[in-house]
Chain A
Amino acid sequence: SSQLTQPPSVSVSPGQKVTISCSGDALRDTETAWYQQRPGQSPLLVIYQTNKRPSGIPERISGSKSGTIATLTISETQAVDEADYYCQAWDGTTHVLFGGGTKLSVL
């Protein structure tokens, strides 16, 4: 079955750049979205259509994709960026897929 694979955790020092990967065959043919989820909160859309930012999301958060790998990049990482991040795509055109999530630690 289709699935999206993310690293369970990544860590970064404040002010540095961090990337979170998401891989899966489904990514070859569909757009990708990314969500940030802080503890006890609902997910927040931070990237849609692979590389677009919703209003209010800082420019230091960006998205890209190459083949079957999508990447979320946070430049100049801040303490407020510490959260779980989930990628999301579609299996075909209608079924939604979520990645397993990546816990970002800002150390």
Chain B
Amino acid sequence: QITLKESGPTLVKPTQTLTLTCTLSGVSLSSGPVGVGWVRQAPGKALEWLAVIYWDDDYRYNPNLKSRLAVIRDPSKNQVILTVTNVDPMDTGTYFCAHEPYYYHASGYYSVAFDVWGQGTWVTVSS
């Protein structure tokens, strides 16, 4: 059974850097082909994709937030870490990590979808 769990601070001040950790169990990010994505949700708002890191250490970011995001993985702990720099109250919300399996077809690898989600972690940005 695959599970993911997010952890991190519940309160950060504006302009600070937010660091969130996603701990995976039941699957190794190194075994491939798999990715771990980060998705957030502001209060009462829609889901917003932030980033994904793949089994081969490649990654992608939401173009609208790219300058403020970084994602890395720690294979020794089976964790994925997301940092968001220069946070603002608009960054307040629930942050989810999700398991994203891939399949190979003809010209390359394609995502199946986010099939397992963590419980989410709430973050408030306020002074």
Contact = CB atoms under 8 A, between A and B. Distances in A.
Interface of B is mostly: strand
B47 to A, nearest CB: 4
25 contacts: A31-B110, A33-B113, A42-B96, A42-B120, A43-B114, A44-B117, A45-B115, A48-B115, A49-B112, A54-B115, A86-B47, A88-B47, A90-B111, A93-B108, A93-B110, A94-B60, A95-B49, A95-B60, A95-B62, A95-B63, A96-B37, A96-B49, A98-B46, A101-B46, A101-B47
Nearest to A91: B63
A63 to B, nearest CB: 11
B119 interface: yes
Contact of B46 (A45, A95, A99): A99
Interface in B93-120: 96, 98, 108, 110-115, 117-120
A14 interface: no
A43 B110 contact: no
Contacts, number: 58
Interface of A: 1, 31, 33, 35, 37, 42-45, 48-49, 54, 86, 88, 90, 93-101
A92 to B, nearest CB: 10
Q: How large is the interface on B (under 10, 10 to 19, 20 to 34, 35 or more residues)?
A: 20 to 34
A45 B114 contact: yes
Contacts of B112: 48-49
Interface of A is mostly: strand
Nearest to B107: A93
B52 interface: yes
B56 interface: no
